[in-house]
Amino acid sequence: MGAIPASDEHLDVLVVGGGFAGVYHLFELRRRGHNVKLFDAAPDFGGIWRLNCYPGARVDSELPLYGLSFPEVYKTWNWSERYPGFKELRRYFDHMDKVLNLRKDCRFNMRVTASHWDEANSRWNITAGPEGKETHVTAKNVIFCMGFASKVNFPTYPGRENYKGTMHHTGLWPDGLEAEAFKGKKVAIIGSGASGVQCTQEIGKHADSLSVFIRTPNLCLPMAQMKMSADVQEAFKDAYPDIFEKRKKTFAGFHYDFDYDDWKRHTPEQRRAFYEEIWAKKGFHFWLETYVDVYYQKDCNRTAYDFWQEKTAARIHDPKKRAFLAPKEWPHTFGTVRPSLEQNYYDVLNQENVDIVPVKEQPIESFTEKGIKMKNGEEKQFDAIILATGFDTHTGGFQQIDIRGQNGVPLTKKWGDGCNSFLGLATAGFPNMFFLYGPHGPTAYSNGPSTVEIQAEWTCDFLDYMRNKQLKSFDVDPKTEEEFTKHNDDLSAATLFHDSHGWYMGRNVPGKKHQALNFTGGIPLYVKELNESKDDGYKGFVMA
């Protein structure tokens, strides 16, 4: 792409993306008097819940954690379920739109395709919209709020284009395609992350037969979904401010935290009682309220795995399925690949119409016209194949936009051999640009809105500071960035997450650099580091 044509529309800030981070910035920056607009490629608000609308898609954080803390929003909204599904999450975004009066400053179906730094004028020249109908704007600052999962990851087996049946990726799901559409069909699902687990639960109830291709079993935890009445929520609304404050002070941004004392202080009997207690709470308690040592010491982790295995194996009837889904020998350390919350996953896998294809033992060769060919020569035929194979997380979304910083250097080039940043918010050579809930933030190690609010409050204060001091541009000091990136890698290397096989470390996408993509020190340390920079005149940034 050549130079972006001049534009008559000049903004203080362009926000890219209409999920939680985008909504927060639009509302807050506008309130503070900045001239701000929001563009989103999707037809409406909702971020991840626009494209991830597969059957059963719902959030794994319980109410009211998965929401913004603006009183205008939570005082006038009640959820119908403890863990809301995507349709209700979209309605929640509609509600935010209404009470925060957002839409008038938004343009939808407006995919940002290019953003080039204009050194002479200290601003970004931006192109958005479909080919042939592009819009150009200039913005002093650009804030990318695309989330960590805006680029899907397709499996690399050849022949995908040859398949003649119905094939969809969970991350690009057609709006309105419900589980009932699979009634009477022979269906395959590839993948068993959160998306695969949720799809399996719903589609397994309707399909004539369902084959779930699983490479690594998910170490799922029981969700304990429940209907929520408005009365119950209203009765607790006075406590919401404390809950929202609390989520800024715990490792993962929930309202509960790890046990930071030495796990060895407990006898095996005491440990068992402790595990029983946090297991009984359901949800992520067994993951995030456990000993912190679970994530630093393998022998401690093994006790958590063994407990999980015992509980889960008891729910699986068929010995072969049991041995694969909840093996005595662990497939990996517990919790270092994201566990999913399940409602009836194991019950659906128990059904006779559902079989498991263990992909490591029975490797896939290719897609064919009618289905999936296995390496042993067998062809399995399906009416529909669902790819629940995840995302090129954290950095993938940035590859879909032609972002060029100082001296025209593309971001893809700068991050070609791994990403670097300061505070998971900005990267050197790309002035006046922030990214939220992406690389090096607490991101996927946290509840989304918790991290979003912490980061967005900081970036809004930063932009006020720039305006008050009449500064034109900011950039990250390259040395600070190098130190921060190493610091984050060191934090990660001390944990068991560092060796995990999945997307937390970039290991799910062939050719991607393996590195700590999330800030691994927990939210309290992250907040401390944000404050240290801010309190010292935004130390680590070069301003002009």
Which uninterrupted H or E stretch holds 341? strand 341-342
What burial class does residue 365 get, using C-beta atoms within 10 Å of its C-beta: 0-12 exposed, 13-18 middle, 19+ buried?
A: middle
Closer to ligand NAP by Cβ: residue 26 or 149: 149
CB of 419 to ligand NAP, least distance (A): 18
How many other β-carbons are positioned within 10 Å of the β-carbon of residue 355? 15
Instruction: Kindly report the backbone phi and psi dihedral angles of residue 166, in degrees, each rounded to the nearest multiple of 5, phi listed first.
Output: -85, 125
Q: Is residue 397 at the binding interface for ligand NAP, with CB under 6 A as the rule? A: no
317: which 2 tokens? 């009837």
Closer to ligand NAP by Cβ: residue 125 or 451: 451
Contact with ligand NAP (CB under 6 A) among 141, 150, 192, 492? 192
Contact with ligand NAP (CB under 6 A) among 17, 55, 431, 502? 502
The stretch near ligand NAP (CB under 6 A) out of 104-112, 232-240, 455-463, 502-510 is 502-510
Q: Is residue 60 at the binding interface for ligand NAP, with CB under 6 A as the rule? A: yes
CB of 159 to ligand NAP, least distance (A): 13
Instruction: Kindly report the backbone phi and psi dihedral angles of residue 122, in degrees, each rounded to the nearest multiple of 5, phi listed first.
Output: 50, 55
482: which 2 tokens? 């190098």
Q: Is residue 438 at the binding interface for ligand NAP, with CB under 6 A as the rule? A: no
CB of 229 to ligand NAP, least distance (A): 23
CB of 338 to ligand NAP, least distance (A): 4
| Interface with ligand NAP: number of residues (CB under 6 A) | 28
Q: How far apart are CA 228 and CA 77, in angstroms?
A: 12
Q: Which residue is nearest to ligand NAP (CB)?
A: 193
**Torsion sign (Cα): 20, 22, 26, 28:** positive
Contact with ligand NAP (CB under 6 A) among 30, 111, 338, 498? 338
Q: Is residue 336 at the binding interface for ligand NAP, with CB under 6 A as the rule? A: no
Longest dimension (CA), the chain: 71
Q: How far apart are CA 382 and CA 58, in angstroms?
A: 26
Q: Is residue 51 at the binding interface for ligand NAP, with CB under 6 A as the rule? A: no
Q: Is residue 212 at the binding interface for ligand NAP, with CB under 6 A as the rule? A: no
End-to-end CA distance of the chain: 29
Which uninterrupted H or E stretch holds 323? helix 319-325
Closer to ligand NAP by Cβ: residue 196 or 441: 196
Helix intervals (H) in 247-318? 268-280, 285-288, 298-313
User: Could you write out the DSSP letters of every residue in 178-214?
Assistant: -GGGGBT-EEEEE--SHHHHHHHHHHTTTBSEEEEEE
Q: Is residue 342 at the binding interface for ligand NAP, with CB under 6 A as the rule? A: no
Instruction: Kindly report the backbone phi and psi dihedral angles of residue 370, in degrees, each rounded to the nearest multiple of 5, phi listed first.
Output: -105, -10
What burial class does residue 408 get, using C-beta atoms within 10 Å of its C-beta: 0-12 exposed, 13-18 middle, 19+ buried?
A: exposed
The stretch near ligand NAP (CB under 6 A) out of 187-195, 229-237, 258-266, 349-357 is 187-195
DSSP letter at 426 equals B
Contact with ligand NAP (CB under 6 A) among 508, 515, 518, 533? 508
Cβ neighbors of 430 (< 8 A, separation 6 or more) are 117, 403, 405, 406, 411, 414, 475
Spell out the SS3 assignment of 376-438.
CCCEEECCEEEECCCECCCCHHHHCCEEECHHHCEHHHHCCCCCCCECCCECCCCCCEEECCC
CB of 382 to ligand NAP, least distance (A): 15
Closer to ligand NAP by Cβ: residue 198 or 533: 198
Site string for ligand NAP, 145-164 (x = CB under 6 A): ----x-----x---------
Going by DSSP bridges, is the β-strand pair 112-118/402-404 parallel, antiparallel, or unpaired?
parallel
Contact predicate 188/372, CB 8 Å: yes
CB of 381 to ligand NAP, least distance (A): 18
The stretch near ligand NAP (CB under 6 A) out of 121-129, 192-200, 228-236, 241-249 is 192-200
Q: Is residue 196 at the binding interface for ligand NAP, with CB under 6 A as the rule? A: yes
Q: How far apart are CA 531 and CA 457, in angstroms?
A: 11
Site string for ligand NAP, 292-331 (x = CB under 6 A): ----------------------------------------
Contact predicate 342/350, CB 8 Å: no
Q: Is residue 253 at the binding interface for ligand NAP, with CB under 6 A as the rule? A: no
Q: Is residue 55 at the binding interface for ligand NAP, with CB under 6 A as the rule? A: no
Instruction: Give residues 354-393 in contact with ligand NAP (rule: CB under 6 A).
Output: 359, 388-391
The stretch near ligand NAP (CB under 6 A) out of 85-93, 208-216, 413-421, 428-436 is 208-216
Contact with ligand NAP (CB under 6 A) among 25, 34, 37, 58? 58
Q: Is residue 85 at the binding interface for ligand NAP, with CB under 6 A as the rule? A: no
Interacting residue ranges for ligand NAP, rule: CB under 6 A: 52, 58-60, 149, 155, 170, 190-196, 198, 213, 215-216, 338, 359, 388-391, 444, 502-503, 508
